Amino acid sequence: MTDYPNIFKPLTVKRTTFKNRIVMPPMGTNLASMNGEFPEEHIKYYEQRAKGGTGMITIENVCIDFPYGTNGTTQLRIDNDQYIPGFVKATERLHRYGAMVSVQINHAGASAYPGRLGGLQPVSASDVPSKPGGIIPRPLTKDEIYDIVEKYGEAARRVQQAGFDAVEIHAGHSYLLCQFLSPLYNKRTDEFGGSAENRARIVKLVIEKVRATVGPFFPIILRFSADEFIDGGNHLEDILEILEYCQEEADILNVSAAVNNNLYLQIDQMNLEDGWRSYLSKAVRDKFGKPTITSGNIRDPRRAEEILANGEADFLAMGRGLIAEPNWVNKVAAGQEHMLRKCISCNIGCADHRIAKSKPIRCTVNPDIINEDAYKKTQVNCPTNVVVIGGGTAGLEAACTAAEVGCDTFLFEEKDYLGGLSREISKLPDKRRIADLPTYLENRARSLHNLKIFTGTKADTAFIHKYNPDVVINATGSKPLLPPIKGLHEYIDQENGSVHSIFGLISKIDQFTDFADKRIVVIGGGAVGLDVVEFFAERGAKVTIVEMLPVLGKDLDHITKLSMNDTLEKYHVEQRTNTALTEVCADHFKVKADGEEIELPFDHGFVCLGMRPENPGLSELLDYGQEHHVEIVNIGDSKQARKILEGMREGRDVLYTLEKIGARA
């Protein structure tokens, strides 16, 4: 008997029964083909989530009106019957595992992808861009509005013909229907603008057209931003009024939040609690008495069960959570919560890759989102010993992967704990989710009988030789970059001193308790420096950040950058860009900007100039490898200080090293 009865309780809507309450919501992938078709890799991506037990999978937003309605670097299309065969293949595959399958039909409006518009001006309710600095759209004519309504109906027919179990209409997140609903974008004075009823008119027409097309028993889902969390936009009370005019034919209400301006509240930033916006879905559910879907960093099954038990929602949407852990449902059902590979809400491979970098979707904690555990089916073909030096996330992934394909694996970690930098950074309150990754990796490692772990053990070539390695993975991590700046090495991280590195903060974080009126100066405007700023600014300190480059957070992911800009503004953080550190003193920094020397006094100063590889034994290892015909591979931060994502992928790539030495086909 499961500890979570509400999660696994079936629910019937119209004539469709959902086997459990876990939903994979639509989330763009950049996996579609350039012409909008559904390639095999893309279908396999969804298939893994269906195989993992998910109750309903909603295929990411598909274009109903090309090119005006298109969105994303690549996007699925459903504006022509020629796309039906691809969707049929997908629904057939997902249905094998008992998942219900929905699809989100959408028109991007002013959020249309410029690269496919061919010079055409995007369309919207009015001439307001959908994001700051976006292309100015032209207002749709009434005839064009009614033509788009017809296109929604045509798309719904194709959805039904392709074998889907439900259809979702997107009216949130700064897309076209949201551009009519929200006063942020809708400045019209005709029957499609002004009052709540008028702004809701196009959504009402769309839902009615879809209902007329699919008939009375086919579930229609309406997704919307229940609170846009921005001045001048819709708030919960506004949306509750708007829904009175347009929700009648909808069967399930998918309650989301936010718009393009505050994307970090739509694609939730790391420090937001599990299910933080479930109060929105409860308000909608209480008023309209219809099943609702809620989302928002839901990772913990206990919190998921609580939301359902309290009547805050009927379904739980886990987008990034199911990218990270396709088997979330099956593992929870089997009592394997300790083996959940939880999303850490870093928003790098899933959101930043797709939105800011035009890359296909990836995941920091899941090195293979397409094939999942398929690599385990091919075991090594001869006895193979793998030694891993370093027990951070990259080393742990390498060790686990090697053991899972049959290698006798030995992991050595110099510290008395595993997890490396991830374990350290997670001690910052706003970064606590990161701890879920090393915790999962350690649980996974300790479940493998052929993986031996030695902590508090320094491994040099003489030591590892007795383990007769065929492969040695060096994953010794990184340490703070401390250039030869006057005074830096003399003052940093000294006992009772006031100059600290990031580790100086983390190691004594409980001692930083008196924040009011404290002057904090942070040198370095990268990710680590901004983490320090966030910690102190939120607690009432007076914070200054200094960066040599013209901008802060140059290499931050898109979501974190938006969130951090909001934090800097909200807490009035003094920003000094184009400013270089010249000297470190006991109670002040000397910096130089525009040729002028400036002193910045502080109660606590932090030097966060990035990280550098820490691999003091690598050259000796390489010599050992040549002498003894052992494959030596350097991975993770010990190769180059980067994000967790790269190290995790390189850890999984031990599979290719095993192929290289002939131990695995």
Q: Which of 4, 175, 185, 264 is catalytic?
A: 175
175 is an active site residue? yes
Which structure tokens are listed for 387?
């030694």
What distance, in Å, lies between the first and last C-alpha atoms of the chain?
42
Which structure tokens are listed for 372?
């999942």
Work out whether strand 22-24 and strand 315-317 pair parallel, antiparallel, or are unpaired: parallel
Helix, strand, coil shares, percent, the chain, to 5: 40, 20, 45
Q: In this structure, how many other beta carbons lie within 10 angstroms of the beta carbon of residue 527?
A: 20
Task: Give the H/E segment covering residue 187.
Answer: none
- Contact between 539 and 532 under an 8 Å Cβ cutoff? The reply is no
**C-alpha dihedral, 408 to 362 to 44 to 38, nearest 10°:** -160
Residue with tokens 């953080």: 573
303 Cβ contact partners less than 8 Å away, ≥ 6 residues apart:
274, 275
- Please report how many Cα atoms fall inside a 13 Å half-sphere around the Cα of residue 260, on the Cβ side: 21
Residue with tokens 């006798």: 408
Which structure tokens are listed for 323?
């990218």
Q: How far apart are CA 644 and CA 364, in angstroms?
A: 6
Q: How far apart are CA 181 and CA 171, in angstroms?
A: 8
Q: What is the DSSP letter of 315?
A: E
Strand 579-584: give its sheet, edge to edge. 579-584, 588-593, 596-601
Determine whether 204 is exposed, middle or buried from the number of CB atoms within 10 Å of its CB (0-12, 13-18, 19+): middle
Helix boundaries (H) for 391-526: 393-404, 420-425, 436-446, 461-465, 488-491, 502-507
Of how many residues is the chain composed? 665
Q: Which of 610, 55, 1, 661 is nearest to 329 (CA)?
A: 55
Q: Which of 193, 194, 255, 258 is nearest to 230 (CA)?
A: 258
- DSSP string for 322-356: HHH-TTHHHHHHTT-GGG--------IIIIIHHHT
* Helices vs strands, H then E, count in the chain: 24, 27
Determine whether 629 is exposed, middle or buried from the number of CB atoms within 10 Å of its CB (0-12, 13-18, 19+): exposed
Q: Mapping DSSP to helix (H, G, I), strand (E, B) and coil, where does residue 159 land?
A: helix
Signed CA dihedral, 560, 235, 26, 177: sign only: negative
Q: In this structure, how many other beta carbons lie within 10 angstroms of the beta carbon of residue 466?
A: 7
**C-alpha dihedral, 110 to 234 to 170 to 56, nearest 10°:** 140
Residue 639 main-chain phi, psi, to 5 deg: -90, -50
- Contact between 221 and 252 under an 8 Å Cβ cutoff? The reply is yes
User: In three state form, how does the secondary structure of 599-625 look?
Assistant: EEECCEEEECCCEEECCCCHHHHHHHH
Q: Which of 612, 605, 583 is nearest to 500 (CA)?
A: 605
Residue 597 main-chain phi, psi, to 5 deg: -85, 130
Residue with tokens 């990031």: 502
**Identity of the amino acid at 346:** C
Question: Hey, which residues are catalytic here?
Answer: 175
